[in-house]
C-alpha cells in the first residue's frame, strides 16, 4: 500500500489524494474491513488488502429513459471471494459488463484486470484496472463520475457519465462520520450516486450506442461471499421528483434487513431502516423466493414516518442478466408516490439474489 499526499493549491483549497494498489491475487492474513463512515473517503476502499475471502466491488448502471437500453459495469476486487466461485473460474480482479441494446440483444463481457490502482480524493474515488482498458474517475464531492472503456479485445470503447441528482447516504441515515455502512452483519454498502443523469456514448463492434437515462453508482464489500450472506432484493428507480433505492435482505439467520431511501427534487426525504418491505408480485412470486421462480414485478411499501407512506409498483420489461438459479436483474417501469398524493411513472433497474449456505447447486 502506498499513501501519497499531493498538495494542490486551488483557490487556497488543498486536496489530499490517497493512492492504494491491490495485486491480482489474494494475500494471506486477516484483512481490516471498515463498516463505519469516517470524515471523508465515502467511496474509498474499505478493505486494506484482500485475502481469499475479503472483497470489494464498485458498481455502475444506466437505464435509458425509454427502458429499451441499459448498461451495467461492475469492477470486482477478488471476484472469486465476492461470488464464492471455486478458484480458477473467475479472474481475481475482474470487470463484468452487461449491455442491453435497443435491438433487444444482450451483450455480456468478462474481462480480467491486473493490478488495481485506486485513488481517493475527498469522498470520491478513481480506479484503474491495469491491463483491462477499464477505468473510472470520480469527483471528490461525488457530484459526477465517468467510466471510460477502451476494451480493444471486445471492440468496446467510449464513456458513461453520471451526474448526481440525489445525495449520497449511509445505510440508515445521512452520511455523517460514525454512521453505519452495514446492510447486514457482514455486508458493507456505500451508495455514492442513488440517482443521476446518465450520458452513454459507446461504440461496440462499430455500432454507436448513444442515449441518456438514469444512472446509479455504489460499492459493496465484506469478508465472506455474498451468496452465503442471504437472499436479497435491491433496486433503484426514478419517477417524477422522486428517486428511490431499496435493499431488502433476508440473512441466513432469517433476519430481514430493510434499507430505504427516497429523495425528492434532489433532497433526501427519507433514509431509514426497518420500515420498507419489498415483495415480488405476479405469478411465481413466493416470498422468500424459490430458485428459478421469476416474478413479474415488485411491490415496495415504505413507511417514512412524518413524510408519509411511499408506495411503488415495478413491472419487469426485460431481463438484463440471469445466472440461474440464483440471480436475476431486470429493467422495468414503475408507478408510485406518496399515498394520498400525486403518483408518477418512471424507470427502474433492480435485481434479486437467492442465497444459499451449502455447496454450489
Ligand atoms: C480474511 O479476513 C477476514 C477479516 O479479517 C477474516 O475474517 C477471514 O478469516 C480472513 N480469511 C482468510 C481466508 O484468512
Ligand atoms: C499499470 O500499468 C502501467 C502501464 O502499463 C504501468 O506503468 C504501471 O506500473 C502499472 N501499475 C501497476 C501498479 O501495476
Ligand atoms: C412459473 O415458473 C415456471 C418455472 O419455474 C414456469 O414454467 C412458468 O411459466 C412460470 N409461470 C409464469 C406465469 O411465469
Ligand atoms: C400497486 O399495485 C397494487 C396491486 O395491483 C395496487 O393495489 C396499488 O394501488 C398499486 N399502487 C400504485 C401506487 O400504483
296 CA to centre of ligand 3 in angstroms: 10
Ramachandran angles phi, psi of 306, nearest 5°: -60, -25
Q: Given pLDDT bands bounded at 50, 70 and 90, which one contains residue 361?
A: very low
pLDDT for 288: 85
Among 282-286, 311-315, 337-341, where is mean pLDDT lowest?
282-286
Domain assignment present for 3: no
User: In whole angstroms, how far apart are CA 285 and each of 293, 297, 304?
Assistant: 7, 9, 25
Tell me the percentage of the chain whose pLDDT exceeds 70.
94
Mutational pocket test of ligand 3: of 280, 283, 322, the residue with most ligand atoms within 8 Å of the beta carbon: 283
Region 302-329 average pLDDT: 94
pLDDT at 98 over 70: yes
115 CA to centre of ligand 2 in angstroms: 7
Domain assignment present for 12: no
Domain assignment present for 238: yes
Considering only CA atoms, which residue is closest to atom 7 of ligand 2? 130
Domain assignment present for 21: yes
Residue 284 has what DSSP assignment? T
Burial letters 55-71, b for 16+ CB under 10 A, else e: bbbbbbbbbbeebbbbb
Considering only CA atoms, which residue is closest to atom 2 of ligand 4? 313
The per-residue pLDDT for range 133-177, each reduced to its tens digit, is 999 999 999 999 999 999 999 999 999 999 999 999 999 999 999
Domain assignment present for 7: no
Asked if 151 and 133 touch (Cβ cutoff 8 Å), the reply is: yes
The atom number, within ligand 4, closest to the CA of 336 reads 13
Structural domain total, the chain: 1
Considering only CA atoms, which residue is closest to atom 3 of ligand 3? 293
Chain mean pLDDT for the chain: 92
CATH number at residue 311: 2.40.370.10
pLDDT for 356: 59
Among 55-64, 191-200, 220-229, 262-271, where is mean pLDDT lowest?
220-229
Ramachandran angles phi, psi of 65, nearest 5°: -65, -20
pLDDT at 244 over 80: yes
Give the range of the structural domain holding residue 296, as residue numbers without chain letter.
17-354
The atom number, within ligand 4, closest to the CA of 337 reads 13
Amino acid at each position: 500500500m502506498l499513501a501519497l499526499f499531493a498538495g494542490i493549491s486551488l483557490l487556497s483549497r488543498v486536496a489530499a489524494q490517497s493512492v492504494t494498489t491491490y495485486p491480482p491475487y489474494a494475500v494471506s492474513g486477516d484483512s481490516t474491513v471498515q463498516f463505519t463512515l469516517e470524515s471523508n473517503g465515502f467511496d474509498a476502499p474499505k478493505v486494506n488488502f484482500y485475502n481469499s475471502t475479503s472483497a470489494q466491488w464498485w458498481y455502475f448502471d444506466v437505464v435509458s429513459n425509454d427502458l429499451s437500453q441499459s448498461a451495467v459495469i461492475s469492477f470486482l476486487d477478488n471476484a472469486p471471494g465476492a461470488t464464492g466461485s471455486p478458484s480458477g473460474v473467475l479472474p481475481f480482479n475482474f470487470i463484468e459488463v452487461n449491455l442491453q441494446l435497443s435491438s433487444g440483444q444482450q451483450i455480456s463481457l468478462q474481462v480480467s484486470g491486473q493490478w488495481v490502482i485506486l485513488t481517493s480524493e475527498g469522498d470520491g474515488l478513481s480506479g484503474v484496472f491495469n491491463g483491462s482498458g477499464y477505468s473510472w474517475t470520480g469527483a471528490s464531492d461525488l457530484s459526477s463520475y465517468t467510466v471510460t472503456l477502451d476494451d480493444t479485445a471486445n471492440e468496446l470503447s467510449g464513456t458513461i457519465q453520471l451526474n448526481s441528482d440525489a445525495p449520497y447516504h449511509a445505510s440508515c441515515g445521512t452520511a455523517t462520520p460514525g454512521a453505519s455502512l452495514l446492510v447486514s452483519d457482514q455486508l458493507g454498502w456505500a451508495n455514492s450516486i442513488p440517482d443521476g443523469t446518465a450520458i452513454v456514448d459507446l461504440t461496440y463492434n462499430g455500432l454507436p450506442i448513444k442515449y441518456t437515462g438514469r444512472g446509479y453508482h455504489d460499492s459493496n464489500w465484506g469478508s465472506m461471499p455474498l451468496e452465503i450472506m442471504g437472499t436479497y432484493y435491491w433496486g433503484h428507480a426514478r419517477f417524477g421528483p422522486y428517486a428511490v433505492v431499496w435493499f431488502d435482505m433476508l440473512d441466513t439467520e432469517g433476519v430481514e434487513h430493510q434499507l430505504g431511501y427516497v429523495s425528492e427534487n434532489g433532497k433526501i426525504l427519507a433514509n431509514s431502516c426497518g420500515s420498507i418491505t419489498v415483495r415480488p408480485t405476479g405469478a411465481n412470486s413466493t416470498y422468500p423466493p424459490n430458485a428459478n421462480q421469476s416474478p413479474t414485478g415488485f411491490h415496495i411499501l415504505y413507511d417514512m414516518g412524518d413524510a408519509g407512506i411511499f408506495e411503488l409498483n415495478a413491472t419487469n420489461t426485460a431481463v438484463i442478466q440471469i445466472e440461474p438459479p440464483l440471480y436475476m436483474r431486470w429493467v422495468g417501469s414503475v408507478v408510485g408516490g406518496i399515498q394520498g398524493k400525486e403518483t408518477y411513472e418512471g424507470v427502474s433497474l433492480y435485481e434479486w439474489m437467492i442465497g444459499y449456505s451449502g455447496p454450489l447447486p
